[in-house]
Amino acid sequence: MTDGADQSAAADLLKWFASHTRDIPWRSETDSYRIWVCEVMAQQTRIQTVRDRLPGFLTTYPTLESLANADRDELLRAWEGLGYYARARNLHRAARQIVESSGTRLPSEVAELRLLPGIGRYTAGAVASIAFGRPEPAVDGNARRVLSRLFDIERPTMAILEDRARELIAGADTGLDGDRPSRAGLLNQALMDLGGAVCTPRSPGCDTCPIESHCLAFERGTVAERPPRKPRKPIPHHDIAVAMIRLNGRLFIQRRPEEGLLGGLWEFPGGKVEPGESPEQAVIREVVEETGMHIRLVGALDLVDHAYSHFRITLHAFHAEIETPSTVIELCDESQTVGSKRWILPEELDAYAFPTANRKLLAGLVSGAGAASPEV
Ligand code: SF4
């Protein structure tokens, strides 16, 4: 496209966006902290879930300082059910990093934003453009599709896409007086919304598209090939066996390592069922490996299926008692705490952040589902 064509395409896109802005609550936000939280929460989470959860989160943590001072367990509990818990941990770390360096608000430049934990090129571009009016691209999956088609890009690397987005931003900013904020924030959001509502993956609505007259893929008949589809990998499935170990009216829980999947959340001990192993054998082995405690199984709960983004699990949960008292981890004393392992009362379960699959187990426990559920 020529500079004039970029300008014209950007103008048509912005005109469309002005009358088709999606009704997303955080679109009206102007505070950089809130825009950042919204952007992070909206990644890999359905919009409706974000709509439901965002107000509560921002009420609990209304400012950068409040997030920096958050208790980590309470923060993870506030994030429970949103998945990808690394996002919550990184929000916390980044807020602390800013506050500890005497900052009171997020930096406005992409290069500085990218130094903060959990802020990649998309989030940095989104915060810089939307919150601070910087002329920066923010290319998510929807924008990637629109840009690939609009410019008919056969191999759309992120560098190429961002260059094309910059050209559109320059077109949108043509004629702006130098002191005015860039229109990049609007343009980035317009690209995302167009990709979500019109330029959809399988049946794009080219006949109603505001930039059809600029679209090279439409002109050349390559829309269906842009962007190239990534081959789908089969989603692996794992059987996981866990034990709900009871002693003196308490349940045993442990915290997952800080880094990695579901890091920092609490769980019942257990692990993957290895080939040739039954879930019963697996859970007894895993509990010894993880805790040193020897248990016997006294009942089973209903199976729980759960899908993560890259794999699925079936959770086999068992009620268990201590088989060999000498192996019991120090318990039920005043602190109830040995490192990242605790014996807690059933009514205390709500105070801990658990992965959704564990929460499903607990729901079954509370509703009385599952066989041979002994009293605690
Ligand atoms: Fe997408 Fe069609 Fe619009 Fe091109 S004309 S941007 S392919 S909807």
209 lines ligand 1 (CB under 6 A): yes
Average pLDDT across the chain, whole number: 89
Task: Specify the ligand 1 atom closest to the Cα of 212.
Answer: 5
Average pLDDT over residues 94-107: 92
> Does the pLDDT value for residue 356 go beyond 90?
no
pLDDT at 330: 61
In the chain, the percentage of residues whose pLDDT exceeds 90 is 65
- 2 confidence band (pLDDT: 50, 70, 90): low
Q: Is 41 buried (19+), middle (13-18) or exposed (0-12) by CB count in 10 A?
A: buried
Are 239 and 314 a contacting pair, CB within 8 Å? yes
pLDDT(362) > 90? no
Residue in 189, 89, 101, 178 with CA at minimum distance from that of residue 142 = 189
Question: What pLDDT, on a 0 to 100 scale, did the predictor assign at position 102?
Answer: 78
How much is the average pLDDT of 70-75?
Answer: 92
pLDDT at 23 over 80: no
Cβ of 199 below 6 Å from ligand 1: yes
Residue 223 Cα: closest atom of ligand 1: 7
pLDDT of residue 371: 40
Residue 332, pLDDT score: 43
Q: Would you place residue 264 in the very low, low, confident or very high pLDDT band (cuts 50, 70, 90)?
A: confident
> Looking at the predicted structure, is the pLDDT value of residue 373 above 80?
no
- Can you tell me which atom of ligand 1 is nearest the CA of 215? 4
Whether 39 is catalytic is yes
Looking at residue 366, its pLDDT comes to 55
- Residue 85's closest CA among 254, 256, 257, 261? 261
Flag whether pLDDT at 127 surpasses 90: yes
Cα four-point dihedral sign 7, 8, 13, 15: positive
Structure-model confidence comparison of residues 84 and 212, the more confident one: 212
Report which ligand 1 atom has the smallest distance to the Cα of 226. 7
Instruction: Check residue 266 and give its pLDDT.
Output: 92
**Residue nearest (by alpha carbon) to ligand 1 atom 5:** 212
Q: Is the CB of 191 under 6 A from ligand 1?
A: no
Indicate if the pLDDT at residue 370 is higher than 70: no
At 111, is the secondary structure helix, strand, or coil? helix
| 52-66, 121-135, 223-237: segment of lowest average pLDDT | 223-237
For the residues 344-351, what does the mean pLDDT come to? Answer: 90
**Whether pLDDT at 57 is above 60:** yes
Residue 298 near ligand 1, beta carbon < 6 Å = no
Q: Taking residues 52-75, what's their average pLDDT?
A: 95
Write the residue with the smallest CA distance to atom 2 of ligand 1.
Answer: 206
- 251 touches ligand 1 (CB under 6 Å): no
Distance 237 CA to ligand 1 centre (A): 37
Higher pLDDT among residues 241 and 330, named by residue: 241
Q: Of 77-81, 146-150, 363-367, where does the model show the most confidence? A: 146-150
CA–centroid distance, 213 to ligand 1, in Å, is 9
Alpha carbon nearest to ligand 1 atom 1, residue: 199
Query: How far apart are the C-alpha atoms of 47 and 31, rounded to whole Å?
Result: 20
Q: What does the pLDDT read at residue 309?
A: 78
Question: pTM surpassing 0.85?
Answer: no
Q: How far apart are CA 264 and CA 154, in angstroms?
A: 42
pLDDT (0 to 100) of residue 363: 79
Residue 147 CA to ligand 1 centre (angstroms):
9
332 close to ligand 1 (CB < 6 Angstrom): no
- Per residue in 191-244, pLDDT (tens digit) is 999 999 999 999 999 999 999 999 999 999 999 999 998 888 889 999 999 999
Ligand 1 pocket residue status of 85, Cβ below 6 Å: no
293 Cβ below 6 A of ligand 1: no
Q: Provide the pLDDT for residue 339.
A: 54
Alpha-carbon distance of 273 to 282, in angstroms, equals 5
Q: Determine the 3-state secondary structure of 135 from DSSP.
A: coil
Give the lowest-confidence range in 112-126, 156-170, 343-357.
343-357
Q: H/E element holding 255?
A: strand 250-255
Distance CA(304)–CA(354), nearest Å, equals 15
Ligand 1 centroid from CA 235, angstroms = 31
